[in-house]
Structure 1
């Protein structure tokens, strides 16, 4: 009976992780300043120190404690990103993510480079005109690249097609600073579809990245 119970748990785990990840990931952000013209506290205020991202069926909703893009909602059905620069604002802007031109990039994948929150991670080093981005990700937390195939902004479609997973850590290197975004909690849970609907009584306007 004990062996049967163990086998059942193993099969349940395999079935769970073979599906696209649904749930919530909490991240923290740390910054390293490389320019005397930047103020660390102002950078934290602008970009935030914590983010909470919800994933379901190709949708994602991210909220941060930042002054810039503190609310971000992606819908694969209409290939739009909706966002607010102030979480309390009653205006939501939107951008089409499928109208940009794909840009040149280089990449390298390294296997089994780290373990984060118990997940064994591969590493994707991705370089384009925006800088160098290093992603740590686990196949246990999968995404479907089909949901992002028209997300051309910042080469996101290419990045998701390479990882086929959410990231658990992201290091971004720019000339003036670096930011290290790392997951502090991963919660598998069924989310309501209503979570990914736009708030009511908001102005909706065309915006620009």
Structure 2
């Protein structure tokens, strides 16, 4: 009888090990949330900048992933070092080249259980200089770490190699925003290889500058802005507070103004970021000039208008006659 139970136990153990060794294959549905950390920049503007929809469907098979929302399709394949993606309304497939990683991240793991989509998940946090990424995972959803690639995002590489799991929640926090993916449905099923095939479209390296246009005042270039400032600056304040030193012919003070151009082309919150370096009256005048400027063309990302944080210099120059 003991031999029988030992034999049964051995079969169970071998069965469990075999099941664990097979990487997760199936489909996971995620809810997407975007929060701006700047009260002057709307959540929607950040969502548009990140090309984030409200939900995302992820197909996973042997390290290959297909992530698709209403705005973005991203495909990662184990036979390529590139990440391929396309945007809704643009008939081009873009790719990112591998990036160099020269930093050692800080790793924090927690065994505190959080239930996500019916799975009891632990957390794994990676801190780098630019962001904090926290993954929630159930070890039962095994993913072979051999599928991590040298060019993968540093946080994901660390997560996969140390947890050997598929994540069910991911929180990315940067200085500007918090982006969250939370699984609400997990389906283990056979996934066709065709899911990871690229569409027959032109392929090009992604250049952010070709998708994003910064705001400009009335017309592109500095001419309109310079004319506006020269016409509206209070010359009496310049004479009063910008004193020319003896023996000199010119003196000046410059205000650096940080402000928001909203998606509607209106100037929002504004502040002088070097106010300790100039006279308070001039700082106040610089804010007036910025806040009374009308005719801004808002920033756009792939044609969609968004809020944009920008800096302009207002120079108060006094010259001897």
Aligned partners of 1:18 and 1:140 also within 8 Å: no
Offset of residue 34 of structure 1? 2.5
Please tell me whether residue 27 in structure 1 is matched to residue 30 in structure 2. Answer: yes
Q: In the alignment, what sits opposite 1:39?
A: 42
Q: Which whole-Å deviations, capped at 9, do the CAs of 1:72-94 have from their partners, x for residues lacking one?
A: 1111112221111x234221012
Q: Which structure has the highest strand share of the two?
A: 1
How many Å apart are 1:9 and its aligned residue? 11
More relative contact order in 1 or in 2 (CA 8 Å, sep 6+)?
1
C-alpha distance in 2 between matches for 1:90 and 1:31: 26
Q: Which residue pairs with 1:205 in the alignment?
A: 204
Deviation at 1:188, TM superposition (A): 0.6
1:57 maps to 2:59:
no
> Structure 1 unaligned runs (5+)?
1-6
Aligned match of 1:91: 92
What is the CA deviation profile of residues 81-117 of structure 1, one whole-angstrom value per residue up to 9, with x for unaligned ones? 1111x234221012233x5234221011111421212
In structure 2, what is the Cα distance between the partners aligned to 1:19 and 1:39?
Answer: 43
Q: Does the aligned pair in 2 maintain the 1:169–1:180 contact within 8 Å?
A: yes
Is the CA contact 1:145–1:161 (under 8 Å) kept in the aligned structure 2?
A: yes
Partner of 2:167: 167
Task: From the CA coordinates, give the structure whose radius of gyration is larger.
Answer: 2
For the aligned residue pairs, the C-alpha RMSD in angstroms reads 2.6
TM-score (norm 1): 0.82
> CA offsets per residue over residues 18-71 of structure 1, 9 Å max, x none?
4100011110112333212211223334422211111011110111223xxx11
- CA distance in 2 between counterparts of 1:159 and 1:102 reads 17
Number of residue pairs aligned between Structure 1 and Structure 2: 197
Unaligned runs of 5+ in 2: 1-8, 209-321
User: Within 5 A, what are the aligned runs for 1:64-83?
Assistant: 64-66=69-71, 70-83=72-85
